[in-house]
Structure 1
Amino acid sequence: MCQIFARQDPVGYTPVTRRLRLNGQSTSIRLERLFWDILDDIARSEGLSTPAFVSKLHSEVLIAAGEAANFTSLLRCTCIIELRRRQPIAFAAE
């Protein structure tokens, strides 16, 4: 089983930093390429650019929680939730 994970393409876990604006403030977010790919897919499905989607998510988190503590972790979890939403049977079996 570990071979599935151990032999993955390193390009997927290469960190990528993107600069964008969150609520009008310029910032940088560093995530692994695979997470950016998933965020790009989510944004596209919402009819938004990735920066617009991430900014919208950030705003909604501020409204819901009052703060966006560890926002990069929230983005990673967003990706996992999206993958579970796409493939509920595969994740339910685990």
Structure 2
Amino acid sequence: MCRVYASTDPQRYDSTTRSVRLQGCVTSVRLENEFWEILETLASEQGMSAAQFISQLHAEVIEDRGVVPNLASMLRVACAVHLHLRAQPATPAAHSRKLA
């Protein structure tokens, strides 16, 4: 069962640090390469670079919550939420067809 996960290319879980500008200040974010790839996909879908996407996401969280206690964790969870949403059926009718 775990062979699929155990045989994952280590490059996917190696970490990379990138600099991003948040509210006018440059900060570093260290994430596994797999998360950077997901963030790049999300950003591309919005017509942005990954840095622009992260900056906008950060600004929206600040607006809603007032603080981002752990940026890297927030980005990982955003990636997980994206994957969960992508895995869900698009419409209730599609869900009904799967159950039949």
SS of residue matched to 2:69: coil
Structure 2 unaligned regions, length at least 5: 90-100
Q: Which runs of 4+ in 1 moved over 2 A?
A: none
User: Identity percentage over the alignment?
Assistant: 42
CA positional deviation for 1:5:
0.9
CA apart distance, 1:50? 0.7
CA distance in 2, matches of 1:82, 1:18: 21
> Which position in structure 2 is the counterpart of 1:56?
56
| CA deviation vs aligned residue, 1:42-72 (integer Å, no higher than 9, x gap) | 0000111110100000011111101001111
Q: Structure 2 CA distance, aligned partners of 1:88 and 1:4?
A: 22
1:39 match: secondary structure: helix
Distance in 2 (CA, whole Å) between partners of 1:26 and 1:70 is 15
Q: TM-score, normalised by structure 2?
A: 0.86
Alignment length, in residue pairs? 89
Q: TM-score, normalised by structure 1?
A: 0.91
Gaps of 5+ in 1: 90-94
Equivalences for residues 55-94 of structure 1 within 5 A = 55-88=55-88
Q: CA RMSD in A?
A: 0.9
